Amino acid sequence: MSGNSKARQGSGAAPPEAAPQAATNPAPQATNSMWGGRFDAAPDGLMTAINASVGFDCRLYAEDIAASKAHADMLVAQGIIPAADGAKIQAGLDSIREEIEHGRFEFKSELEDIHMNIEARLGELIGGAAGRLHTARSRNDQVATDFRLWVRGALQRSDAEMRDLQAALIARAEDNAATVMPGFTHLQSAQPVTFGHHLLAYVEMLGRDRGRVTDCLRRLGECPLGAGALAGTSFPIDREASATALGFDRPCANSIDAVSDRDFALEALSLAAIVATHLSRLAEELVIWSSAQFAFIRLSDGFSTGSSMMPQKRNPDAAELVRAKSGRITGALVALLTVMKGLALSYAKDMQEDKEPLFDAFDSLSICLRATAGMIGDLEVDKAAMAGAAGHGHATATELADWLVRELDMPFRDAHRVTGRVVRRADELSCRLDELSLEELQAVEPRIIAAALEVLNPLNAVASRSSYGGTAPSQVRAQVVRARERFL
């Protein structure tokens, strides 16, 4: 061991809150008790520091125990280990789970990871029988199995959180099926829409996001356990049995792929990045809409913060942080893609770096989904401000052009030109299109009659857009009904 190792002892990353506490100071010992057979000296303190993952992979404890229990059951059923040892292993693993959940488990960095911490403790609790648990498996298939199980749970939680957000959006959409607001392209007033219609756009995005979760879960349904280090095993194991016991559809077909594959994690991170991007766009809109200049909505006190200097401020910090966290979720995807891209098959220790980005991404996604549902559920809508803005920026100009086409049989390009002149006249008079007199309109196109003024009203404009999926209140109400059937 090199000098000064005490000062250089590794401490590993601090475990996340609510996760079991990892040990910080490995006790010096001769060699590693799990694999030290061929070594004379203990690892350097820095080796322990860079190698230990228990500071974060302690989050896999429940999955690790579940997978070990399924493996031990299978070993007994196949006659590979004695039933009496199997029973001791089951009881020991149950006690370890208790110890961890009650904060009584001592995590040790010198035992590297969650897998070896649990196995070493099992030895302390049940003695020699513990040594039989690792028959016909390796940490490589073990970690791949545990991580798949964790990702599966995280995806199921995200799906439930997305559903809750959809429910909040659908409820607001129903209340606002007839709330007129400006619709934007290029963030310029384009055509009036209804606020309910706008919110339902996010319900669709989240619906596709949830579809991606389903797809990912389907591919995740293959179990690596029993792949061994990479080549399979000479013991007569039953991979179907352990796969089924853990809720997988089937065992992974190729043992080399089983321990090498992390594309389930990449796929989960990809879909998380897409969800986060959707949330970020909604967050950006909440920031814009809640500004004094727009004042379309007011975020609740519960989801706003004040300024320590400017007493008038109500800052949309939660929305801003949802917008920002999409950066770190996308960052996690890029980090893991970069870790994986040059790895020759099969397992390499690089792959231990798969966990922290993924844990962080799913923690971030969860708080973003829940905070967004909270903001949507609580926000106040200023219907008058929205309606007032809907008439600004000549947002109903397209209605007039369509009227000229429909009623005067004008080609659309001519109607577009005529309407452009009407818009110019309104600008000259500094008024809205629906404030122009019939005389002003007729000065541009003499065949325009009073009925044309009707279409300039934003309320009439939205009501007319009753095509399937359109913004008319009748359509929005129908979309609300369909969305509830499809998603809730």
Where does this chain bind ligand ARG (CB under 6 A)? Answer: 53, 57, 113, 139-140, 143, 347, 349, 351-352
Q: What is the spatial distance between Cα 214 and Cα 222, in angstroms, rounded to a whole number? A: 14
> Please, which residue, 256 or 385, has the CB nearer to ligand ARG?
256
186 belongs to the catalytic site: yes
Please give the structure tokens belonging to residue 461.
């404009």
Q: What is the spatial distance between Cα 269 and Cα 236, in angstroms, rounded to a whole number? A: 36
> Please, which residue, 53 or 457, has the CB nearer to ligand ARG?
53
Other Cβ atoms less than 10 A from the Cβ of 24: the count is 14
> Please, which residue, 260 or 290, has the CB nearer to ligand ARG?
260
Q: Report, in Å, the least distance between residue 136 CB and ligand ARG.
A: 16
> Please, which residue, 195 or 347, has the CB nearer to ligand ARG?
347
Say which of 11, 71, 291, 307 is annotated catalytic. Answer: 307
- What is the 3-state secondary structure of 43-112? CCHHHHHHHCCHHHHHHHHHHHHHHHHHHHHHHHHCCCCCHHHHHHHHHHHHHHHHHHHCCCCCCCHHHC
Please give the structure tokens belonging to residue 28.
């010096």
> Please, which residue, 140 or 194, has the CB nearer to ligand ARG?
140
Say which of 2, 102, 186, 234 is annotated catalytic. Answer: 186
Question: CB under 8 Å to 336, separation ≥6 — which residues?
Answer: 262, 265, 266, 269, 353, 354, 357, 358
Q: Report, in Å, the least distance between residue 143 CB and ligand ARG.
A: 4
Please give the structure tokens belonging to residue 231.
């080549």
Beta strands 297-298; 250-251: pairing state: unpaired
> Please, which residue, 116 or 167, has the CB nearer to ligand ARG?
116
The DSSP symbol for 132 reads G
Q: Kindly state the helix (H) or strand (E) to which residue 213 belongs, with its residue range.
A: helix 195-219
With the C-alpha atoms ordered 279, 359, 221, 373, is the resulting torsion angle positive or negative?
Answer: negative
> Please, which residue, 179 or 352, has the CB nearer to ligand ARG?
352
The DSSP symbol for 305 reads B
Question: CB under 8 Å to 354, separation ≥6 — which residues?
Answer: 147, 262, 265, 336, 339, 340
Q: Report, in Å, the least distance between residue 88 CB and ligand ARG.
A: 25
Q: What is the spatial distance between Cα 343 and Cα 346, in angstroms, rounded to a whole number? A: 8
Q: What is the spatial distance between Cα 354 and Cα 73, in angstroms, rounded to a whole number? A: 29
Question: Would you say 23 and 64 are in contact if contact means Cβ atoms under 8 Å apart?
Answer: no
- Just list the catalytic residues: 186, 307
